[in-house]
Structure 1
Amino acid sequence: MRVTSISSVPAVERSPSIIGGAMIIGGTIVGAGMFSLPVVMSGLWFYGSVAVLLLAWFCTLHSGLMILEANLNYREGASFSTITRDLLGRGWSRLNGLSIVFVLYTLTYAYISASGSVIHHTAQSLGWTLSSRAGGLGFTLLVAFIVWLSTTAVSRMTTLVFGAKILAFFLTFGGLLGHVQSATLLNLDHGDNHYWPYLLVTLPFCLTSFGFHGNVPSLMKHYGKDPQRIRACLVSGTLLALGLYLVWMLCSMGNIPRDAFKDIAQRGGNIDVLIGALGSRLNSANIDLLLTFFSNFAVACSFLGVTLGLFDYLADVLGFDDSPAGRFKTATVTFAPPMLCGVLWPEGFIHAIGFAGLAATLWAVITPALLARASRKRFGSPRYRVWGGTPMIGLVLLFGALCAVSHLLFVFGWLPVWR
């Protein structure tokens, strides 16, 4: 942001706060998707879940940094389409573009579905009557207006909502932590101690739950070509998300027995089902209310971050300018299709999160690694290079391939699922 002095004092250059960028990343990651984690990871249970979340955080953080490395060689505002087409060719760019649009549209639909479910549950707790469709539609229109305004508006709103979410998080999970039972957390009350057969099925969900990669070009557009500040945003935002995930897994798996998650999964695993299960276990109206408000903040943060990434990507691909009229056209293309799906199928949250995993392996993990390799060959990475060299690129590619294979095996019913 440039501030021009009207006096004889030279203009002062101010860079946006790192906190704002970290909140965009953390807010994008920690959203409604976190409510699917205890359900899909209940077979693996607590210690295995911690190990997989650490692996997913490490690989997705470095794939995001690889996007930054390649992106720095292009103009500010250049998206995946521009970078991938130039470095990897038109064929790969089209495939990557389809995967980006599929994932971001799918996640946008998932959050419309989740927002409708959460707002409906909130209205019920307050004694009001509001359908899931109406709640999701109204909330989506509000998010569309904020995204239409500017990236700065999204950053400020995300900072505000994320701060409220953290406050609600500690109020809620402070109570939940006090009720954690070690026997429940360690699964001592049940004879079934087979965990690792359920490892592979968790990988695509963990990958999707660390999805922030569409926001890396947006951050460079926001901060300029300042790799250290953008890297600080990525590291801080992803670490914050990881910490919140670990506390959430501790609270949920320390209060709900492993066998009880089978019933939650069979009922669709939606947010209101999980909140209801926790509330009934603790028999606490206050915790149920706090969980409800926290879920509202979680959906709002993730919704804003994901749609900002989709908005900027579509603007670059379709060539819409940054004027109010151009942003309105981009907002229409961004929100209209998932809104229609949200009206027709309002309860598709957990299914949408799962299907986003396969495509996410391509554009959030595999493509970034290939971009970093191609960028180093052509430009030599003069501004910034991710540490680890070729072995790090290989590790990220291996993680992406494993997630893709796991999701395909899951779709065909060839993986054991804790249900």
Structure 2
Amino acid sequence: MRATSLASSPSPAALERSPSVLGGAMIIGGTIVGAGMFSLPVVMSGLWFYGSVAVLVFAWFCTLHSGLMILEANLNYHEGASFSTITRDLLGRTWNRINGLSIVFVLYTLTYAYISASGSVIHHTLQSMGVSLSPRAGGLGFTVLVAFIVWLSTSAVSRMTTVVFGAKILAFFLTFGGLLGHVQPATLFDLNSGTTSYWPYLLVTLPFCLTSFGFHGNVPSLMKHFGKDPKRIRACLLGGTLIALGLYLVWMLCSMGNIEREAFKGIAQRGGNIDVLISALGSRLDSANVDLLLNFFSNFAVACSFLGVTLGLFDYLADVLGFDDRPMGRLRTAAATFLPPMLCGFLWPEGFIHAIGFAGLAATLWAVITPALLARASRKRFGSPLYRVWGGTPMIALVLFFGVICAVAHLLFNLDLLPVWR
């Protein structure tokens, strides 16, 4: 695919549409802040609070800039061009096949993870109301609803995500406002455990942090939505990721300030799924209201991430498979997007934590390493006429280093060569 001729300003069509930057930021923030955040206190409990804050800020910085590097390269191609088009043209067919497999693996894995998470959350919520529904049925029913919204259009996803994300923010502060009032300094700073062994658990957290800042599949979707308008798309990425970082830090403060470090071992041994963590927080606070708000928040958290991740997968598959944007073409794309992970969700409904972890390995390639290589190749060929990420070659090197160290950490973890707090 050849690069199209470039304009120095947004296209008239983009100006006519004039979509909201807030809506774009909600897509990014909603994609990031979802079910994955519930895995963070569990996998980062060994590192504990101070270390978790440092690692989350570093992961945010690197993943934000890798997303901006995708934007830099994507602006040299037509609106709607996805990773497949850009990677094939800049890095060659072989790298594109490898990268394409990693994209499909990550987005399908995350979609499966959110099917598993939504089933768990819906089951727990309805159970608290005296209604019995299996996690399988809850997850599959919710997936059908998400598939319908994604099938409609990117605008429908944007509007729905804005509404759901707004409700999620409200639920977040109502929920964690109550949790903040119960934070115990001795628990938060781990004063009673008598241990100073935290940093050995650093490497195991990196792949989960990378996955928890996963929004990169939505960058081509935003260009399709906004047109070639780097300032507005950059504002969406910056705003959405900063919201996510802030919410993550508050979440770590609330969870680690209310549950002792030693207690996270039991949570991990029980699978670390969302309902287990919610039950642990509810039992610590002994508050029916807080438990209800946690359920309310977790439902919206899963919905936001589910919409954002599947939108990225939908647009990628439409580009790769050549399906058009008419209703029947979108129906074919929706079937390719949702049916495989729905089958996995039906067969293995309890795979949330494992799925998030495996997604972190492949995400290092397409969400961090490939964007850095794309930015370097794009600058050599096009000279970045519309937008260039600051920092030059050192920034590319930093992003590459982050990707490589995450991949190594995940491999060592799967070989049982890293210490894990459990």
TM-score interval w.r.t. the shorter chain?
over 0.9
Counterpart in the other structure of 1:95: 98
- The one-letter amino acid of 1:71's match is N
CA distance in 2 between counterparts of 1:3 and 1:417 reads: 54
Counterpart in the other structure of 2:265: 262
- The one-letter amino acid of 1:104's match is L
- Answering whether residue 334 of structure 2 is matched by residue 331 of structure 1, we say yes
Counterpart in the other structure of 1:33: 36
Counterpart in the other structure of 1:157: 160
> Does the 8 Å contact 1:2/1:14 carry over to 2?
no
Deviation at 1:2, TM superposition (A): 11
Aligned length: 413
| Structure 1, unpaired ranges of 5+ | 5-11
- The one-letter amino acid of 1:36's match is S
1:194-273 matches, within 5 Å, as 194-273=197-276
Q: Encode CA deviations 1:224-279: one digit per residue, 9 max, x unaligned.
A: 00000000000000000000000000000000000000000000000000000000
CA distance in 2 between counterparts of 1:346 and 1:190 reads: 35
- Answering whether residue 302 of structure 2 is matched by residue 275 of structure 1, we say no
SS across alignment from 2:258: coil
CA distance in 1 between counterparts of 2:215 and 2:100 reads: 16
CA distance in 2 between counterparts of 1:172 and 1:182 reads: 19
CA distance in 2 between counterparts of 1:225 and 1:3 reads: 10
Q: TM-score, normalised by structure 1?
A: 0.97
- The one-letter amino acid of 1:199's match is L
Counterpart in the other structure of 2:19: 16
- The one-letter amino acid of 1:98's match is L
CA distance in 2 between counterparts of 1:216 and 1:232 reads: 12
SS across alignment from 1:322: coil
> Does the 8 Å contact 1:81/1:93 carry over to 2?
yes
Counterpart in the other structure of 2:363: 360
- The one-letter amino acid of 2:195's match is D
- The one-letter amino acid of 1:288's match is D
Counterpart in the other structure of 1:370: 373
Aligned match for 2:75, one of 64, 72, 75:
72
> Does the 8 Å contact 2:11/2:228 carry over to 1?
no
Counterpart in the other structure of 1:8: none
Q: Encode CA deviations 1:276-304: one digit per residue, 9 max, x unaligned.
A: 00000010010001000100000000000
1:2-151 matches, within 5 Å, as 13-151=16-154
CA distance in 2 between counterparts of 1:138 and 1:293 reads: 18
CA distance in 1 between counterparts of 2:67 and 2:140 reads: 31
Counterpart in the other structure of 1:9: none
CA distance in 2 between counterparts of 1:204 and 1:150 reads: 31
Q: CA RMSD in A?
A: 1.4
- Answering whether residue 393 of structure 2 is matched by residue 390 of structure 1, we say yes
CA distance in 2 between counterparts of 1:298 and 1:396 reads: 28
Counterpart in the other structure of 1:381: 384
How much identity, in percent, do the aligned residues show? 86
Q: TM-score, normalised by structure 2?
A: 0.97
Deviation at 1:13, TM superposition (A): 2.7
Deviation at 1:193, TM superposition (A): 1.7
CA distance in 2 between counterparts of 1:138 and 1:120 reads: 12
SS across alignment from 1:258: coil
> Does the 8 Å contact 1:16/1:223 carry over to 2?
yes
